[in-house]
Chains A and B, each alone.
Chain A
């Protein structure tokens, strides 16, 4: 099982700092750190911290992908992860991020990705949650991926959510004889008990006008698992 970390650089998603993640890697005797962030902001810090700690950084950017960035609406929005396999991959990742923010209204589409794709330096990952499979199966979405020049790898997870088996079944049906998959664990906090800290952080980050969310009414749909943690990874690895 591959541990995949996210840090506080992904605002509202994780309560782990890069320093804490490296501590956890050390206690796991890990030589690699898979770090998937929602922006490039933390890349430099992660790069230098990993170098200092003697850990190989494998950086991934999680992005919103849709059928066509030129069209409005979000009925095909889903998440993809792009991993950089080399220095050139990091530069490409930066270009992809720039395209999303400057031309794609924070999104990319497969027309763009197929155009710039370089399999030698980039790896496309289809995450378990919020992927086109998850969105098509459990939301009224119509995501149509186009893997023309891209060979994606599919990540699978087990976090005791009631719909995990539904997504997993759909992933296995989709990849059958075509693509490969890997079992991963998304790590957003250290211990199961830290879930309340993450909830609090999410509530703060998600503040808006109107009735305030609280810990007894956090308004976090399907936020019903405390398995996205290092403790659970160690127990199940």
Chain B
């Protein structure tokens, strides 16, 4: 038994995050909601859910339908992008934290970059090397492609970029696959998503030697 595996490390800190956005354009869609939880081992120690204020926010019909976007709730709860960023970046750039999420490398890292550019901040991609993308892990498990111990991020990119008709790696599928009790109507609510994602991640750690 390899005791250095993440599944046995009860002190490892995780930040699990998800964004809800105007659309799926990696250059210009703005994230209007971000939720993250901080965990130590299996234990969740904090949960945060923030709405980000942007002028003329335009959530596409498709995105609004999927995310359950409510203009009224958004207007009531939204805060300045700089304020939310300050709060989130404390967790994101804390080197003790492993950053976990579904399709982070294919989507959310770009959304954070859209946010950064709009704030006019310099590029800082230091957190990327600490990412564990549950979509990549799902492909690794489905295709039985083990991590060989070198260039973990590259390995995840290879899996993320792998396309196969019928390969199921969505969060909804993974919840079903692992028999995790959930409410399908609440998926894509950012905070609910991250909690479910953390449950998936913990299951995946028993399917892979990480």
Contact = CB atoms under 8 A, between A and B. Distances in A.
Contact of A166 (B26, B145, B154): B154
Contacts, number: 73
A98 B38 CA distance: 58
Contact of A217 (B24, B105, B162): B24
A45 to B, nearest CB: 30
Interface stretch (B40-48, B72-80, B106-114, B167-175): B106-114
B125 interface: yes
B161 A139 contact: yes
A160 interface: yes
Contacts of B25: 199, 215-218
B63 A140 contact: no
Contacts of A222: 26, 106
B22 A216 contact: yes
The number of chain B residues touching the other chain, given as a range, is 20 to 34
A196 B153 contact: no
A140 B29 CA distance: 29
B1 interface: no
B113 A138 contact: no
B123 interface: yes
Interface residues of A, number: 26
A162 B158 contact: no
B57 to A, nearest CB: 13
Contacts of A220: 26
B183 interface: no
B157 interface: yes
B25 to A, nearest CB: 6
B60 A160 contact: no
B27 A223 contact: yes
B121 to A, nearest CB: 12
Interface in A144-170: 160, 162-163, 165-166, 170
Interface in B6-25: 22-25
Nearest to B26: A224
Nearest to A223: B26
Given A140-B161, A216-B62, A217-B60, A162 B105 contact: yes
Interface in A114-140: 137-140
Given A162-B105, A162-B125, A216-B63, A195 B27 contact: yes
Contacts of B162: 139-140
Interface in A179-230: 195-196, 199, 214-226
B153 A218 contact: no
26 contacts: A137-B157, A137-B158, A138-B154, A138-B157, A138-B158, A138-B161, A139-B158, A140-B145, A162-B105, A162-B109, A162-B110, A166-B154, A195-B28, A215-B28, A216-B25, A216-B29, A216-B63, A217-B23, A217-B25, A217-B60, A217-B62, A218-B25, A218-B26, A221-B106, A222-B26, A226-B27
